[in-house]
């Protein structure tokens, strides 16, 4: 008989005599990682990744070369095998400058594939761009308008002239998709029969609901407000985010089968206990809806209001009477939203009180500039000392004059009072926009941290209650930007999905190889101007709430997208090395030392070879020799300095290389890139 029986990882299988352990395992659906093995060439056994342990054999075996035998018992994931495999991977990664993902992707809290969707926009394929975005973010048209775009802060194009306008490109593509007859909608998996309650319909709650619904779970969102959207609807003014855009994106989430229940306040209309009792899992994403106190004497006076409270009232179209003179305290984007909204609801004089200088303001520059264009006056290096009033109504702010001292923990210079120096400002209303806090009324059963915020595990998002998870502004570090809440919710959805399947798997950030790039590295790139977003004039826009930005034209968007340097590895999705590196926890830094000095080799004519990504597995050399029959590639040098280089002896060899490309197809790391 040509068949033999053996056991791999406790599973009895049948293999053919002469098969390797690797082949026997693969034929039976058991994955053993390897980098240097390829079916088209002879066994080489160079990488050491495929080692396994067999009973009765003292040393580890290389699965790619070890032959199976009758009754053999193999463990591919024994402690010894995994330890050896990890060491091999750590050694490889310690000298690997693969630049797996562009810095834009790495700096996005949601891990959005910015590079991928910008490339598709450059190619004119907006639907595919939206598909890529929605792998991580279900609200691209909304978030593209309001995100402070940390992706652009990291964009390497800034080393040439200016970063790519990534956020505006996002909403350009998303707007085009929404305007189409068939907006992109992800495919929903078969129903699991499991139910999930999401409490809070803001960006975090909507995101989690989106991904849990796609996973096949029945999701219901409970929200206290009249409409879904959370702070995107009630904290960001219409002139920045038109609510019909938000409505369209929310309706696409509802179309996935998500049930949305509004005007349901937990603790009043329904108890938290009833929700958790009737659903298989519950996610709390209630946000931070209360304005923080300025702790200033007189803040109890009528006319002193919180920034979030003011913006919410305007968004609800409630009557707002703020008088002629309005002071806004704070320097963030909420303060900018508040002061610009005050202009639009009729204030004649609007002042921003900020205790540092403009250079230290956390608000985006464009928000500050547009506020100034609309007539807002900035009182830098001042801080409220006391709110003064008559008959219980605020009439004046006593301002302490400040100066900058030493930098604080955030790196900004700390404001220090100038002793005895004050100014006075006549006001009808004071809007305090210095931060937000969580209202946990109705959620008393959930454990809080020392700051009075919901305590949730950093990797599983679990609270102290079984089956209850929490994300977003209401947890751990408190209020942040919307894309951060979205990123958390997306990760939590994956954890909750695993929990509902019986095994709560914590989120772990993917291991990636990174590369430092300097302006000198990009000195040869042509300088191209960043696309400027057209917008309405200050005189026109400050009298209404219509959207300020007019959007990119087709030509402007395509040209802007083409400025992308396409950082990151072209082969990231198919790279065997990074896939195996993410199979186990790695610490390559323990082997860090002198790095190979890489180079780009283009003598292969139709293939670019990046020595920084090469792991010297030899596959390209063997494929060129054994499969193509040309032997163009070979090892050059010895020891640490060994590299692989081509040698062309005649025009026929060059012609063959141009059309062959078999070496690039076999490369496990993306070191070989097909150019044409």
How many CA atoms does the CB half-sphere of 665 hold within 13 Å? Answer: 11
Q: How far, in Å, CA of 515 to CA of 670, rounded? A: 15
Q: How far is CA 629 from the centre of its chain?
A: 45
- Using a pLDDT cut of 70, give the percent of the chain over it: 99
Mean pLDDT value of segment 37-48: 88
Distance between first and last Cα of the chain: 49
Closest by CA to 498, choosing from 446, 447, 462, is 462
Q: How far, in Å, CA of 510 to CA of 504, rounded? A: 18
Among the three residues 38, 58, 93, which one is the final residue of a domain in this structure?
93
Q: For 160-206, give the secondary structure using H, E and C.
A: CCCCCCHHHHHHHHHHHHHCCCCCCCCCCCCCCCCEEEEECCCHHHH
* Same domain (yes/no): 199, 160: no
Cα-based distances in Å from 532 to 121, 508, 529: 17, 38, 9
Burial of 665 (0-12, 13-18, 19+ CB in 10 A): middle
DSSP output for 353-379: EESS-GGG--S-HHHHHHHHHTT-EEE
Where residue 272 falls among pLDDT bands split at 50, 70, 90?
very high
* Same domain (yes/no): 428, 299: yes
- Is residue 511, in this structure, part of any structural domain at all? no
Question: Strands 382-390 and 259-261: what pairing?
Answer: unpaired
How many CA atoms does the CB half-sphere of 75 hold within 13 Å? Answer: 12
User: Which residues are CB-neighbours of 533 under 8 A, at least 6 positions away?
Assistant: 165, 168, 549, 550, 551, 552
Q: Is the pLDDT of residue 602 over 90?
A: no
* Same domain (yes/no): 134, 150: yes
Can you name the residues that pair with 468 across neighbouring β-strands? 282
Q: Per residue in 144-193, pLDDT tens?
A: 999 999 999 999 999 999 999 999 999 999 999 999 999 999 999 999 99
Number of H helices, E strands in the chain: 22, 25
- Using a pLDDT cut of 90, give the percent of the chain over it: 81
Cα-based distances in Å from 568 to 95, 218, 528, 581, 598: 17, 37, 21, 17, 16
Q: How far is CA 242 from the centre of its chain?
A: 24
Q: Per residue in 401-460, pLDDT tens?
A: 999 998 877 777 889 999 999 999 999 999 999 989 899 999 999 999 988 899 999 999
- Is residue 301, in this structure, part of any structural domain at all? yes
Rama region for 331: left / alpha / beta (φ>0; ψ in -120 to 50; rest): alpha
Cα-based distances in Å from 72 to 25, 28, 33, 45, 274: 12, 15, 20, 21, 55
Q: Is the pLDDT of residue 523 over 90?
A: yes
Number of folded domains that form the chain? 5
The CATH number assigned to the domain holding 335 equals 3.50.50.60
* Same domain (yes/no): 449, 549: no
Q: How far, in Å, CA of 439 to CA of 381, rounded? A: 31
Q: Is the pLDDT of residue 111 over 70?
A: yes
Closest by CA to 167, choosing from 560, 565, 569, is 560
Lowest mean pLDDT among 280-284, 603-607, 643-647: 603-607
pLDDT reported for residue 641: 81
The CATH number assigned to the domain holding 668 equals 3.30.70.20
Look over the chain and give the mean of its residue pLDDT values, rounded to a whole number.
94
pLDDT reported for residue 1: 59
- Is residue 572, in this structure, part of any structural domain at all? no
Among the three residues 70, 93, 116, which one is the final residue of a domain in this structure?
93
* Same domain (yes/no): 454, 533: no
Q: Per residue in 118-137, pLDDT tens?
A: 999 999 999 999 999 999 99
Mean pLDDT value of segment 51-68: 96
How many CA atoms does the CB half-sphere of 614 hold within 13 Å? Answer: 26
CB-CB neighbours of 355 under 10 Å: 24
pLDDT reported for residue 630: 85
Q: How far is CA 505 from the centre of its chain?
A: 19
- Is residue 190, in this structure, part of any structural domain at all? no
- Is residue 262, in this structure, part of any structural domain at all? yes
* Same domain (yes/no): 473, 446: yes
* Same domain (yes/no): 284, 297: no
Among the three residues 93, 114, 145, which one is the final residue of a domain in this structure?
93
Per DSSP, the three-state class of 321 is coil
Q: Is the pLDDT of residue 350 over 90?
A: yes
To the nearest 10°, the Cα dihedral for 652, 658, 661, 663?
60
Q: How far, in Å, CA of 328 to CA of 334, rounded? A: 10
pLDDT reported for residue 596: 73
* Same domain (yes/no): 316, 419: yes
- Is residue 509, in this structure, part of any structural domain at all? no
Rg (CA), the chain: 30
pLDDT reported for residue 653: 73
Sign, Cα dihedral of 162, 163, 167, 168 = positive
Burial of 606 (0-12, 13-18, 19+ CB in 10 A): middle
Q: Is the pLDDT of residue 287 over 80?
A: yes
| Contact criterion met (CB below 8 Å) for 184 and 177 | yes
Q: How far, in Å, CA of 171 to CA of 246, rounded? A: 12
Mean pLDDT value of segment 285-311: 94
The CATH number assigned to the domain holding 11 equals 3.10.20.740
- Domain enclosing residue 179, as ranges: 103-184+528-561
Q: Per residue in 63-98, pLDDT tens?
A: 999 999 999 999 999 999 999 999 999 999 998 888
Q: How far, in Å, CA of 435 to CA of 415, rounded? A: 18
Question: Strands 281-284 and 195-199: what pairing?
Answer: parallel
- Is residue 346, in this structure, part of any structural domain at all? yes
DSSP output for 471-486: -GGGBTT----HHHHH
Burial of 450 (0-12, 13-18, 19+ CB in 10 A): exposed
For 109, the enclosing helix (H) or strand (E) is none
* Same domain (yes/no): 256, 329: no
Sign, Cα dihedral of 339, 340, 345, 350 = positive
* Same domain (yes/no): 298, 431: yes
* Same domain (yes/no): 285, 295: no
For 385, the enclosing helix (H) or strand (E) is strand 382-390
DSSP output for 12-49: EEEEETT-BHHHHHHHTT-----SS--TTS-----S-T
pLDDT reported for residue 649: 65
pLDDT reported for residue 632: 86
The CATH number assigned to the domain holding 535 equals 1.10.1060.10
Mean pLDDT value of segment 572-597: 88
pLDDT reported for residue 498: 97
* Same domain (yes/no): 268, 366: no
Can you name the residues that pair with 280 across neighbouring β-strands? none
- Is residue 580, in this structure, part of any structural domain at all? no
Per DSSP, the three-state class of 320 is coil
Q: Per residue in 456-509, pLDDT tens?
A: 999 999 999 999 999 999 998 888 899 999 999 999 999 999 999 999 999 999
């Amino acid at each position: 008989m040509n068949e033999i029986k053996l056991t791999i990882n406790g599973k009895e299988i049948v293999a053919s005599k002469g098969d390797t352990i690797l082949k026997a395992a693969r034929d039976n659906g058991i994955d053993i990682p390897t980098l240097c093995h390829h079916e088209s060439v002879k066994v080489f056994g160079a990488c050491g990744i495929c080692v396994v342990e067999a009973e009765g054999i003292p040393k580890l075996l290389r699965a790619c070369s070890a032959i199976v035998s009758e009754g053999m018992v193999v463990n591919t994931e024994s402690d010894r095998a995994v330890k050896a495999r990890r060491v091999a991977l750590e050694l490889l990664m310690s000298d690997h400058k693969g630049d797996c993902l562009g810095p834009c992707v790495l700096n996005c809290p949601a891990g959005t594939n910015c590079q991928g969707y910008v490339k598709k926009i450059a190619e004119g394929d907006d639907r595919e761009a939206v598909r890529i975005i929605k792998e991580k973010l279900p609200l691209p048209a909304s978030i593209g308008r309001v995100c402070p775009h940390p992706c652009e802060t990291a964009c390497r194009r800034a080393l040439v002239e200016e970063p790519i306008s990534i956020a505006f490109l996002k909403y350009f593509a998303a707007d085009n998709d929404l305007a189409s007859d068939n907006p992109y909608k992800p495919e929903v998996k078969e129903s699991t029969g499991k139910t999930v309650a999401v409490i809070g319909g803001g960006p975090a709650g909507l995101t989690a609901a989106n991904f849990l619904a796609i996973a096949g779970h029945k999701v219901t969102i409970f929200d206290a407000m009249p409409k879904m959207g959370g702070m995107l609807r009630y904290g960001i003014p219409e002139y920045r985010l038109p609510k019909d855009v938000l409505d369209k994106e929310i309706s696409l989430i509802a179309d996935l089968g998500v049930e949305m229940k509004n005007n349901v306040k937990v603790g009043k209309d329904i108890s938290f206990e009833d929700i958790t009792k009737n659903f298989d899992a519950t996610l709390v994403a209630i946000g931070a809806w209360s304005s923080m106190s300025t702790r200033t004497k007189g803040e109890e006076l009528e006319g002193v209001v919180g920034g979030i409270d003011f913006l919410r009232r305007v968004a609800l179209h409630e009557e707002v009477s703020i008088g002629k003179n309005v002071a806004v305290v704070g320097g963030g984007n909420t303060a900018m939203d508040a002061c610009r909204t005050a202009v639009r609801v009729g204030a004649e004089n609007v002042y921003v009180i900020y205790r540092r200088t403009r250079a230290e303001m956390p608000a985006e520059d464009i928000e500050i500039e547009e506020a100034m264009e609309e007539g807002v006056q900035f009182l830098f290096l001042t801080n409220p000392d006391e709110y003064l009033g008559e008959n219980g109504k605020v009439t004046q702010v006593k301002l302490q004059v400040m100066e900058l001292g030493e930098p604080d923990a955030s790196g900004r210079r700390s404001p220090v009072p100038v002793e005895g120096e004050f100014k006075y400002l006549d006001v009808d209303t004071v809007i305090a926009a210095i931060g937000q806090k969580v209202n946990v009324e109705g959620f008393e059963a959930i454990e809080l941290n020392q700051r009075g915020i919901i305590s949730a595990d950093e990797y599983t998002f679990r609270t102290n209650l079984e089956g209850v998870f929490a994300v977003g502004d209401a947890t751990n570090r408190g209020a942040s930007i919307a894309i951060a809440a979205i990123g958390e919710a997306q990760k939590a959805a994956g954890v909750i999905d695993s929990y509902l399947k019986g095994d709560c798997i914590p989120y772990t950030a993917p291991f990636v190889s990174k590369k430092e790039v300097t302006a000198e590295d990009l000195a040869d790139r042509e300088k191209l101007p960043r696309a400027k977003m057209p917008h309405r004039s200050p005189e026109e826009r400050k009298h209404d709430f219509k959207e300020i930005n007019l959007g990119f034209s087709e030509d402007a968007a395509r040209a802007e997208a083409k400025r992308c340097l396409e950082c990151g590895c072209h082969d990231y999705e198919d790279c065997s090395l990074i896939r195996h590196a993410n199979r186990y926890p790695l610490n390559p830094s323990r082997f860090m030392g002198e790095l190979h000095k890489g180079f780009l080799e283009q003598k292969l004519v139709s293939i670019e070879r990046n020595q920084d990504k090469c792991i010297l597995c030899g596959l390209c050399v063997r494929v060129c020799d054994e499969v193509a029959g040309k032997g163009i590639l070979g090892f050059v040098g010895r020891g640490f300095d060994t590299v692989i280089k081509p040698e062309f002896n005649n025009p026929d060899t060059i012609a063959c290389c141009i059309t062959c490309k078999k070496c690039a197809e076999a490369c496990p790391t993306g070191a070989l890139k097909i150019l044409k």
